[in-house]
Structure 1
Amino acid sequence: MAWNWEGPTWPNFTYDATALEPLEAEFLLRSGQFIGAFKHVSQDEQQNLKIDLISDEALKTSEIEGEILNRDSVQSSLRYQFGLGEQQAGVPAAERGIAQMMVDLYLNFSTPLTDETMFAWYSMLLSGDRTIRTIAAYRTHPEPMQVVSGPIAQRKVHFEAPPSGNMTKEMAGFIQWFNDTRPEGPHPLPAITRSAIAHLYFVSIHPFEDGNGRIARALAEKSLAQNLGQPTLIALAYTIQRKRKAYYEALEHNNKEMEITDWLLYFANTVLEAQDNTNRRVDFYIAKTKFYERLRGQFNERQEKAIARMFKEGVDGFRGGLSAENYISITKAARATATRDLQDLVAKGALTRTGELRHTRYHLRLDENG
């Protein structure tokens, strides 16, 4: 047997459930912490945070597959899809499509999975790709569906999926499993266990000509949301992309056998790290609200622009901190003016300063007693 789907017990994966129990409990605990913290974000900032988190997922799930999209176009499409703004002119099909899929995932997480759900996601993702032969259907080409790397003369096959002729049967089985294992189904599974299996099960079938990884991650998030009873806003793709090599290694390590405890543990720890990343962002937005409450009306126009730009960089901020050169570039201020502005921001407790001379850097001061 070369691949998991060729074995006699396919698709009945086996694993050590007890090894997952503490991770499942931690996931539920952190989910509660997120829900509680999110309620402390203002209504307007909740919308902004939602757009930021979903756009990051859209960008990163595409980047994992080597596709670099435009953030502004994705966010514009998300705002339009959520009814929060007008559609920006000239948004490329790829950005519009991933935004549509992410909004559908957010709004319709609770609905049962169907062929039509995945056909719709696939059509959204690949609507601008003229090389795809089959849209809104599973693959039908006779040649093997393989995941490969390396030059043609030294091609390495990392995985080969079931033949195209098996897709109707394989996907019928997958969809039934997915719906049967949701919380109200006849065979419910714990949140992370179900999400991890859904991801591996789906990519093992690889039912589409393209987009399988992005759809697998969307299914993993749909699964988690169903188990929680609400959208997760979890930074899953964002976290996977940061350690993309480990992600592909974990998939390859677990595509040959039916015992998948290693995959479940990898995925569970990735989900917990994703929750940490999400909760850090919620804390950042709460701190941002308090920052403006504390200092509102104390900045000149240049300072307002620079502070807004720093917040736009997100929880990680400017790499190494904001320099005077950054400030001049953002505000178009003269150097002497920039120096006075930055000194004033430090004096008011808006920024902290580190380093000296050309190594001087500034950071947002987000503690409440700043």
Structure 2
Amino acid sequence: MKWNWQHQEWPKVSFDASILERHEAEFLKQGGVLLGAFKHLKPAEETELLADTATSEALTTSAIEGEVLNRESVRSSILRHLGLPSASRQGNSREEGIARLMADLLRGRHDELTHERLWRWHEMLMDGRSSLATVGAYRTHPRPMQIVSGPEGRKVVHFEAPPSERVPQEMDAFLDWFNGSERDLPPIARAGIAHLYFESIHPFEDGNGRIGRAISEVALAQGLGDRSLAMLATEIESRQTEYYAALSSASRGLEATGWLTWFADVVLAGQRRTLKWIEFLIAKARLLDAVRGKVNQRQEKVLLRIFREGPSGFEGGLSAGNYQKITGASPATAGRDLAELVELGALRRTGKGKGTRYWLAVE
């Protein structure tokens, strides 16, 4: 069996552009809606949206690769690297690294993609990794670069990338194609092909998935001429099994329609996810305005803490125990505070007894 890069026509892929026409049109339409909604936010809400969505993207693009990071540390670091006010919480090297990458994506979305920029991203992500022979440069090891699963002795090879000695010439060709294709391809097709192309080269020892998804974000932003605001990694993480299956299938040949159709659905869903986040921020502002002067410091602290979890809120809902832990209140005080928040219309209550849970009363 040949991998895609072993075919004579590589790296030229084929796809049915007519199948993607609806997706491309919807992407541009939804992109306009998102940017319009974004520009109607107050400055503080704009900052909050960028910080929250970038944090979600940082956490999920890392989670896809098996890394679990601290939300507050990542968010604080992103704000700091954007030059915005933030909490003083300092993240570890992995949290700082992904935060720096997200900040670079937000600031430099129109910058040309170069070897040096990719190497810099790799340094950000791999800071402090003593296990890697090469950081901030393409791989040079002689062993095959394989994607495998299964126990030792029964490993399954899902993909084998080009040998290390071919990586420099492959990356020269990739960057020439990427920087020269903005006018030739519609945004989703270009972003999807870029991701597949880069992942097929697999130029780094580690971090290829995160950098590949970042490259797709650059392509989408360039296609709109502004921030893409599509929560791509967040949406991919929710379909992780499909993601790997679609990539694996596409890596076996040069026909990419199936991969691009799947990718297009993910991009559009990512845009819808961001629109929900904007609607959530607007609902948050209305709710806080409605209860201003009617809640005590404990209640305000808890409302803000729940809002930081985003549209999905606390997983499983807020319990009285959560309230006590956040505020340090006694059980009796927590019960009274929660009852008042329900009466004010800030929270809604479900369940009974120990199963009682509280949810933000926003649609």
TM-score (norm 2): 0.96
Query: 1:263 corresponds to which residue?
Result: 259
Which residue of the other structure, out of 336, 344, 355, is the alignment partner of 1:359? 355
Shift of residue 159, structure 1, vs aligned partner: 0.4
User: 1:69 & 1:75 partners in 2: Cα distance?
Assistant: 11
> 2:73–2:89: 8 Å Cα contact kept in structure 1?
no
- Where 2:116 maps in the other structure, the secondary structure is helix
The corresponding residue for 1:67 is: 67
Residue of structure 1 in register with 2:147 after alignment: 147
1:294 aligns with one of 281, 290, 296: 290
Structure 1: gaps spanning 5 or more residues = none
CA–CA separation in structure 1 for the residues paired with 2:72 and 2:25: 37
Tell me which amino acid in the other structure corresponds to 1:213.
G
Contact 1:51-1:78 within 8 A present in 2 as well: yes
Change (3 A) 1:320 1:152: closer
Match of 1:347 among 331, 343, 362: 343
Q: What pairs up with 1:209-228 in 2 under 5 angstroms?
A: 209-228=205-224
The residue type paired with residue 9 of structure 2 is T
Deviation at 1:341, TM superposition (A): 1.9
Give the counterpart letter for 2:52 in structure 1: D
Shift of residue 362 of structure 1? Answer: 2.2
Following TM superposition, by how much is the alpha carbon of 1:153 offset from its aligned partner in structure 2, in angstroms?
Answer: 0.4
Aligned to 1:55: 55
Between the aligned partners of 2:41 and 2:175, the Cα distance in structure 1 is 37
Of 309, 312, 318, the residue aligned with 1:313 is 309
User: Residue 158 of structure 1 aligns to a residue in which SS?
Assistant: strand
Q: Structure 2 vs 1, CA of residues 129 and 296 (structure 1 numbering), >3 Å: closer, same or farther?
A: same
1:217-296 to 2 correspondences below 5 Å: 217-296=213-292
Aligned-pair CA distance for 1:87: 8.2
Mean Cα deviation higher: 99-108 or 351-360: 351-360
State the partner residue of 2:137. Answer: 137
- Map Cα deviations across residues 170-226 of structure 1 (whole Å, 9 max, x no partner): 11110011011113xxxx211100000000000001111111111100000000001
Q: Which residue identity lines up with residue 217 of structure 1 in the other structure?
A: R
Gaps of 5+ in 2: none
Cα displacement (A) at 1:333: 2.3
Structure 1 match to 2:192: 196
Q: Is the 8 A contact 2:77 2:90 kept in 1?
A: no
Tell me the TM-score normalised to structure 1 length: 0.94
Structure 2 counterpart of 1:166 = 166
Q: Does 1:46 align with 2:46?
A: yes
Aligned residue number for residue 99 of structure 2: 99
Measure the CA separation in 2 of the matches of 1:330 and 1:171.
50
**Structure 2 vs 1, CA of residues 302 and 90 (structure 1 numbering), >3 Å: closer, same or farther?**
closer
Q: Are 1:55 and 1:71, in contact at CA under 8 Å, matched by a contact in 2?
A: yes
Structure 2 counterpart SS, 1:137: coil
Q: Amino acid of the residue matched to residue 237 of structure 1?
A: A
CA distance in 2, matches of 1:70, 1:352: 28
Q: How far did 1:329 drift?
A: 2.6
The answer (yes or no) to whether the contact 2:76–2:89 under 8 Å persists in 1 is no
Amino acid corresponding to residue 301 of structure 1 in structure 2: Q
Secondary structure of 2:158's match? strand
Matched position secondary structure for 1:159: strand
Shift of 1:275: 1.1
Q: Is the contact made by 2:109 and 2:221 (CA closer than 8 Å) also made in structure 1? A: yes
Equivalent residue of 2:147, what SS? strand
Of 349-358 and 75-84, deviating more is 349-358
Superposed displacement of residue 86, structure 1: 6.4
Q: 1:19 to 1:357 in 2, by over 3 A?
A: same
**What's the Cα RMSD here?**
1.6
- d(CA) in 2 for partners of 1:157, 1:166: 20
Q: Does structure 1 retain, via aligned residues, the 8 Å contact 2:121–2:211?
A: yes
